[in-house]
Amino acid sequence: MNPDFKTVALIGKYQSPDVAAAVLQIGGFLRDRGLQVLIEQGTASSTRLGSGFAVATYDEIGAGADLAVVLGGDGTMLNAARRLAEYGVPLVGVNEGRLGFLTDIARETMETGLGAILGGKGVEAPRFMLDVLVQRGERSVFHTVALNDVVVNKGDIGRMIEFDVRIDGEFVYTQRSDGMIVSTPTGSTAYALSANGPILHPDVVGIALVPLCPHTLTARPITLPDNCTIDIVLQAPHDARVHFDGQERFDARAGDCIRITRSPHHIRLIHPPGYSYFAMLREKLHWSASPRTP
């Protein structure tokens, strides 16, 4: 047993009683191994399992847990990652959703996979995050982090928006489009992929800019170094909506500057032994299953 893992938190899909059986099973599995088990407060409420285990807020999990097991889909993992980013708690994902790019342990094999990780055989994969600041004149009006992407789009209006893009203070172009996706390598297989953005291997320290339906067809996706500052400045009279990992949002006004940089925080994903990024892509994207024999 890995001596670093003494307290393990369980985080389930938001307001989903469907994960109750899996949470109960893993909770018992961990307790039988002498580990302290914490159930995230919202998970305890939705599954009604709080009476059997200690209940903890995200802040308490960040301060006291050595490992967090996330049961759900990628959306559940994204939410947990943002909530726990500042604490550096390692995250393990059990797939109770659809795709499972980030939650890579199957429900049927969760005890085997988690047992191997607890035994010190897991593979740690750090993923960097984005720091987002919205400036309105001289004031900062919003601040958050994102693991997958930051999306500036037209919101509910039925026309294109217009904005300037600046990199490290240098003007790049003025774009008229439905918006822009700013994606990490983790998010390159999410919304950015649907918009014909590049797939970035997790070890690539780059940030992808992917235009959404640009009016100028020569506006192509571009990959930038992770140490740059990206400014998206909305041009009048266009307001816009800014989304963070598809979960949190902010309504920006004409003249606002959405400033995006690499966050000082990162997350620590723990994969079971034998994990392969390319095998995961083959499965999730339905690529050819086996190579041709010579």
**Residue 283 and residue 63: Cα distance in Å, rounded?**
36
Q: Which helix (H) or strand (E) holds 163?
A: strand 161-167
- 144 three-class SS: strand
**Residue 202 and residue 197: Cα distance in Å, rounded?**
15
- 109 three-class SS: helix
Helices (H), the chain: 20-31, 41-47, 58-64, 74-84, 110-118, 191-194, 277-285
The torsion angle over the Cα atoms of residues 93, 83, 7 and 104, rounded to 10 degrees, is: 10
Closest by CA to 249, choosing from 179, 158, 171, 162, is 179
3-state secondary structure 14-44: CCCHHHHHHHHHHHHHHHCCCCEEEEEHHHH
157 φ, ψ (degrees, to nearest 5): -75, 155
Q: Do the strands 170-177 and 54-56 form a parallel or antiparallel pair, or are they unpaired? A: unpaired
Closest by CA to 211, choosing from 232, 239, 235, is 232
Closest by CA to 30, choosing from 79, 125, 94, 98, is 94
Active site residues: 74
